[in-house]
Amino acid sequence: MANLLRGDPTDYDGRGGAASDCGDTVEIFLWLRDGKVREARFRMNGCINTALAAQATTELATGRSPVDLLQLEPEAVLDVATLPEGEEHCADTAAAALHAAARDALRTGKEPWKKLYR
């Protein structure tokens, strides 16, 4: 899990989280440079399938703009993360967390002073 976040992140540009019905949670953090994701990391609490989906999501995010990330569908996550049948909800959760992080990054870009109050 190369993009698994350890410790408390600082100075991120976007943060978003989501939870699935089974109780698994994913939180994604984005760091931007020149309007694109320079680095994406995640924290999660759940099964290995959720971890795989979160890892795939952060890989897909790198190099894209927050606006592009809002268009990323769970199917794209499934194309990267090979999940067992019946575990597709893990991709839904990871994509939802990414969308929330992208929306936060867009808000932060419009009101950068809010970054100081995290």
Q: How would you classify residue 93: left for phi > 0, otherwise alpha for psi between -120 and 50, otherwise beta?
A: alpha
Contact between 57 and 69 under an 8 Å Cβ cutoff? The reply is no
More confident residue, 110 or 27: 27
Residue ranges of domains in the chain: 14-109
Contact at 8 Å (CB) between 49 and 87?
yes
In this structure, whether the domain defined by 14-109 belongs to CATH 3.90.1010.10 is answered with yes
Give residue 112's pLDDT band: very low, low, confident or very high (50, 70, 90). confident
Q: What is the largest CA-CA distance in the chain?
A: 44
Of the candidates 59, 77, 80, 71, the one whose C-alpha atom is nearest the C-alpha of residue 102 is 71
Instruction: Tell me the pTM.
Output: 0.90
3 pLDDT above the threshold of 60: no
